[in-house]
Structure formats: structure tokens, C-alpha cells
């Protein structure tokens, strides 16, 4: 599949706290970095999303949520993985940045849709963490917003509280209209 000028790569939450050694690690979460880096330079438009929580965020167990404290704004855990190639990034989205509102999707209470439309993006390629939460929510919202949506299945990893959660999420996305492909399906087109 040739990458075109109106395509965007959306890298979801490849943050230190979601990688091994972090506060809320996704198993093998850091293994998404290499396939993402391999295709990043194919895209003219590249987006990163980050959880950017205040210390008293409602998703934290100590404030009634279900998650341990993670991705607190301005901390090393909230930063993107050090090996992730960020040179091509031209849109940075920080989400769930108010205490009383959680957001799994990169579109939730952000200007991501407007930023993509202003760049005339038609297709989005979603990768990162975690398949069964933020990838799923971001991709569903991309479809709702009218973007042709592709999931790079070799560049995602899930929480898998139940062993099949990630696979079920991918199948749900496929039924909703997303295409499941791998980074090896991509090739340079007019974007480079």
C-alpha cells in the first residue's frame, strides 16, 4: 500500500509509563517502537498522543479510578519513549489533562480532528498502546470522524486483562470499518 500525501500516522501513547519499567506497563509495550520508527518517515503527517494527567486525576485508584498513578504531566513517565523517532512529528496531542475527565481517544476533547482536516488528511494509520483501550477508542473515533482508518497490527500491544481482549478489540475495529494491516504492507509513495 503506497503512502500518500494526505495520510497521517497516529502514534498513540508510546509513553514511558506504558512501557516495561513504567508505572502501568503494557507487556512488551516497547516492542512497538521499532516498527513505528521503520515507517514513520513515510508519512508527511505524524501525530503523537500522550496521557497528560494532573496528579489528582480521577482515573487513579487513590481518587476512585481503576488505574495506578501514571503519565503525570511533566514527569519522566509521561514522556514519549526515548527511542521513538519524533523528528517527523508535526501534531502533538495531550489528553485527559483535567482532573475530572478521562480520555482514551486522541480525539476526546482535543483538536485532533480539526488538525487532521486542516492538513487535508483522508487516511489515518493508528499504532501504539494499548490495543484494547486507547488504540481502540482512537480508531473508533477516527472512523466516526470520517477518516479511512488502518490499524498497524505489528505496531500495537494491549493490556489484555483477559487474554483475548486485544484480539477482540481488533475484530471490533474491523467490524466497525477499520482495516487491519502491518507495517510491512506500507511502501513509500508521494509522501517522501
Catalytic positions are 13, 95, 134
Q: Is the dihedral of CA 103, 105, 106, 109 positive or negative?
A: negative
142 touches 10 (CB < 8 A):
yes
d(CA 131, CA 160): 9
Q: For residue 32, give every residue at least 6 positions away whose Cβ sits within 8 Å of its Cβ, in sequence order, or none.
A: 14, 127, 128, 129, 155, 156, 157
* 25 secondary structure, DSSP code: P
Amino acid at each position: 500500500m503506497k503512502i500518500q500525501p494526505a495520510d497521517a500516522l497516529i502514534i498513540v501513547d508510546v509513553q514511558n509509563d506504558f512501557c516495561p519499567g513504567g508505572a502501568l506497563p503494557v507487556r512488551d509495550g516497547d516492542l512497538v517502537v521499532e516498527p513505528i520508527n521503520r515507517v514513520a518517515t513515510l508519512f508527511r503527517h505524524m501525530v503523537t498522543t500522550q496521557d497528560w494527567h494532573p496528579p489528582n486525576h480521577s482515573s487513579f485508584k487513590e481518587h476512585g479510578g481503576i488505574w495506578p498513578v501514571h503519565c503525570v504531566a511533566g514527569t519522566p513517565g509521561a514522556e514519549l519513549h526515548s527511542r521513538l523517532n519524533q523528528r517527523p512529528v508535526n501534531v502533538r496531542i495531550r489528553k485527559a489533562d483535567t482532573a475530572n475527565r478521562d480520555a482514551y481517544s486522541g480525539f476526546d476533547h482535543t483538536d485532533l480532528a480539526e488538525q487532521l482536516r486542516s492538513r487535508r488528511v483522508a487516511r489515518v494509520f493508528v499504532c501504539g498502546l494499548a490495543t484494547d483501550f486507547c488504540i481502540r477508542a482512537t480508531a473508533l473515533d477516527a472512523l466516526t470522524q470520517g477518516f479511512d482508518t488502518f490499524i498497524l497490527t505489528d505496531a500495537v500491544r494491549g493490556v489484555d486483562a483477559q487474554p483475548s481482549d486485544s484480539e477482540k478489540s481488533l475484530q471490533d475495529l474491523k467490524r466497525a470499518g477499520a482495516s487491519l494491516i502491518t507495517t510491512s504492507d506500507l511502501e513509500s509513495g508521494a509522501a517522501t
